Amino acid sequence: MAYNKFNVFHWHIVDDPSFPFQSLTGKYWKGTFILTILLLSDVRKVISYARMRGIRVLPEFDSPGHTKSWGQGQPDLLTPCYTGNTPTGSVGPVNPALPSTYKFMWALLKEVTSVFPDSYIHLGGDEANKISDTNQSFWKSNPDIRTFMQKMGFGTDFAKLEGFYIENIVNITSALNKTSIVWQEVFDNHIQRSSLSVVEVWKAGCYLCKVRKVTKARLRVILAAPWYLDQPHNWAHYYNVWPLAFKGTEEQKKLVIGGEACMWGEYVDASNLAPRLWPRASATAERLWSDENQTNSLDKAFPRLNEFRCRLLRRGIQAEPLSVGHCKYEYEGI
């Protein structure tokens, strides 16, 4: 079962904001609305284009799951699946038992870090519940994986096997003088949390409880959970979020370095990207870029965001309305 996810790039806009990190993540699904980077020359063009506009481009290479396409170009990277002692011909996630896996990841991340100048790199590791169940069936079927787990003292605990893999690639990233970002499942299942740097909280539920727990472990946090812009919420839903609204010390709150607005592709394609994105992203950006005391009123925010929405329309961007009304320019000359 393939859960291929391709986070093309993250946009990090730093403009003396309240939080040093803000981002918009795009997920490539079946649509063509997100730029897909295919060549190093394209990567450099994107980075240069973004730099001239004050935008930092961060790569994400999500593993051990979401990697089926990797196996097309790298033999033996993915785990062969078995029925009994017979290979089925299908493959699962990255194989954590082979030394060649880490040689490949070293070479990949070294090349990536030589091209992307930013100090951060996202290592993924998300959807552990879904992927771990998948990993368990794939990994458990493989006799070499089972032998490796016994040798390492993991028994049948596949979370430990996944943790072993994550620790190795986090250490590779550190050796390349980059700071790793991981999704929250890595924090939940990781053996050595001390090796982690930045945890991205994305799962629904009491996400601020998770933020509190991560910062209590003295790790930095990026909050994404309340800002899934593909969901059918209006702008006010996203504007009302405040990442520091949890019980914690001032030192804990300093570890919340920002937020990430996410636009996944299950419910969005080229036909509805712009109206779904705007003005939701505007609302999220104002909250993250402004002082809390200046952005705690929906009534005061409405005219600002409505004016910006009208500006987008004048520029040909089909941003949806915040409420009933119109833009002044639409009636000029009538």
**Would you state the structure tokens that stand for residue 250, as one six-digit string?**
């001032």
Alpha-carbon gap, residue 238 to 229, rounded angstroms:
8
Residue the block writes with tokens 């009534």: 299
**Would you state the structure tokens that stand for residue 318, as one six-digit string?**
């089909």
Give the helix ranges, DSSP H, for the chain: 40-51, 99-115, 128-141, 143-152, 158-175, 184-189, 207-216, 235-239, 250-254, 273-277, 280-289, 298-314
Query: Choosing from 60, 111, 127, 260, which is the catalytic residue?
Result: 127
As a residue count, the chain comes to 334
Pairing of strands 198-201, 179-183: parallel
Active site residue 127: yes
Alpha-carbon gap, residue 245 to 136, rounded angstroms:
37
Q: How far is CA 274 from the centre of its chain?
A: 20
Alpha-carbon gap, residue 57 to 37, rounded angstroms:
12
Alpha-carbon gap, residue 186 to 132, rounded angstroms:
11
Q: How far is CA 6 from the centre of its chain?
A: 10
**Would you state the structure tokens that stand for residue 247, as one six-digit string?**
């019980």
Tell how many helices (H) and how many strands (E) occur in the chain: 12, 10
Catalytic residues: 127
